[in-house]
């Protein structure tokens, strides 16, 4: 299916004529990063002009995107390996972002011009300058929320929040251990743990800027930052556990040997939550962990939680609390690198190289 035919089914996008660089249109153009086959993002993505209706109708809302991050899940979706896949092509990339409302239909009740909103679902396509969605497809945020934080609120902060709230009843003074400690989720875990008076052991890969990374995470509230090699040193870990209790919760986004090493430090009756597999290696669990320590192992996927709690009071409460923490400087947004849609190839290539310690975010003028 060609771009010119396919965008008719994406909701209030019309009159796209894209062939050999020639664009004909009736209204002012909107732009998006779109793809019509699965593949490597730098190969299949294209920046294309898309036309929006002059006036929205019924319960529809026109939004202008302000910022939208590039997440690993976005890359996996384009590659065709993510569990949630588009049902038809072409499709706009991106699963989260923040936008401003610039037009509302006559039947819209709870959204007004100028509101700052995020999509309530995860497959609306956010790598675009404009979009038209229904009222139920949007969640209104506090207008004063920081744009870069709002653009990322739906995935990483919520993932950290839910994993620390839903699996183990942690109390002040308890401890947790996590790998991927310098990931976006890991950074929010560190800050939430500090706010809730939970001690944290944070595992990261060895890297050229190791000491700077350790200091940065400690400045956010990390109690301990260790490399994957350091958590295998018994004497070092014994010293740590003379200061804090053994973790009741382990958060795993790496898998492989690093996950197994974290399990070895988990307290009796503790729980490991796996939410990623960056090493692309399986989670190997020692037999004694089941038999003698009564450990529990569960998985977590924020997309599934969102689908099950699409418009729940629990979800709105979480977003309000995270927004308030951000406003009060209790949650600092991880470092971002702002790029334009035209810079998507370089941004994705750099992101896939790793060790950037930053989130790439499309910033729209």
Tokens of 282: 């399986």
- What the block records as the tokens of 96 is 């989260």
Task: Report the alpha-carbon distance of residue 91 to residue 10 in Å, rounded.
Answer: 8
Q: Residue 31: which of 9, 3, 50, 58 has the closest Cα?
A: 50
**175-179 and 249-252: which strand pairing?**
parallel
Locate 245 and state its tokens: 């209790």
The verdict on whether 82 is a catalytic residue reads: yes
- Catalytic annotation, pick one of 82, 188, 224, 344: 82
Calculate the CA dihedral of residues 78, 81, 85, 91 and round it to 10 degrees.
10
- Residue (of 355, 331, 341) closest to 70 by Cα position: 341
Q: Is 104 helix (H, G, I), strand (E, B) or coil?
A: strand
CA-to-CA distance for 250 and 265, rounded, in angstroms?
9
Q: Could you tell me where the beta strands, DSSP code E, fall in 263-318?
A: 271-274, 296-299
Beta-strand ranges (E) seen in 70-121 are 91-92, 98-104, 116-119
The count of residues in the chain is 365
Distances (CA, A) of 111 to 55, 98, 134, 307: 16, 14, 10, 21
Q: Where are the beta strands (DSSP E) in the chain?
A: 13-14, 29-35, 46-52, 60-69, 91-92, 98-104, 116-119, 130-134, 138-141, 175-179, 199-204, 224-227, 249-252, 271-274, 296-299, 336-339, 359-363
Catalytic residues: 82
């Amino acid at each position: 299916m060609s771009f010119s035919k396919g965008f008719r089914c994406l909701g209030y996008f019309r009159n796209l004529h894209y062939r050999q660089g020639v664009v004909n249109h009736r209204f002012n153009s909107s732009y998006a990063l779109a793809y019509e086959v699965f593949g490597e993002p730098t190969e299949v993505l294209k920046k294309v002009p898309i036309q929006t209706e002059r006036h929205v109708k019924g319960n529809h809302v026109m939004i202008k995107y302000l910022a939208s991050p590039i997440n690993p899940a976005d890359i996996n979706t384009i590659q065709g390996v993510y569990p949630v896949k588009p049902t038809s092509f072409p499709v706009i990339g991106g699963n989260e972002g923040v936008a401003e409302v610039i037009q509302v239909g006559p039947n819209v009740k709870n959204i007004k011009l100028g509101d700052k909103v995020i999509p309530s679902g995860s497959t609306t396509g956010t790598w675009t300058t404009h979009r038209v969605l229904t009222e139920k497809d949007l969640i209104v945020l506090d207008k004063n929320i920081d744009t870069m934080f709002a653009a990322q609120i739906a995935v990483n902060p919520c993932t950290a929040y839910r994993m620390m709230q839903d699996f183990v009843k942690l109390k002040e003074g308890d401890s947790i251990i996590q790998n991927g400690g310098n990931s976006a989720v890991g950074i929010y875990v560190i800050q939430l743990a500090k706010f809730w008076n939970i001690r944290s052991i944070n595992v990261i890969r060895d890297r050229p800027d190791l000491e700077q990374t350790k200091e940065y995470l400690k400045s956010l509230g990390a109690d301990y930052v260790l490399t994957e090699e350091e958590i295998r040193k018994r004497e070092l870990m014994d010293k740590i556990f003379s200061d804090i209790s053994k973790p009741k919760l382990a958060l795993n986004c790496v898998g492989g040997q690093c996950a197994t090493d974290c399990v070895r430090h988990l307290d009796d009756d503790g729980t490991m939550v796996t939410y990623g597999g960056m090493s692309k290696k399986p989670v190997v669990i020692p037999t004694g962990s089941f038999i003698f320590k009564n450990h529990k192992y569960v998985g977590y996927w924020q997309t599934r939680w969102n689908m099950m709690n699409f418009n729940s009071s629990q979800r709105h409460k979480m977003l309000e609390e995270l927004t308030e923490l951000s406003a009060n400087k209790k949650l600092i947004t991880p470092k971002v690198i702002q790029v334009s849609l035209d810079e998507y190839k370089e941004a994705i290539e750099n992101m896939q190289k790793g060790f950037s310690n930053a989130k790439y975010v499309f910033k729209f003028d």
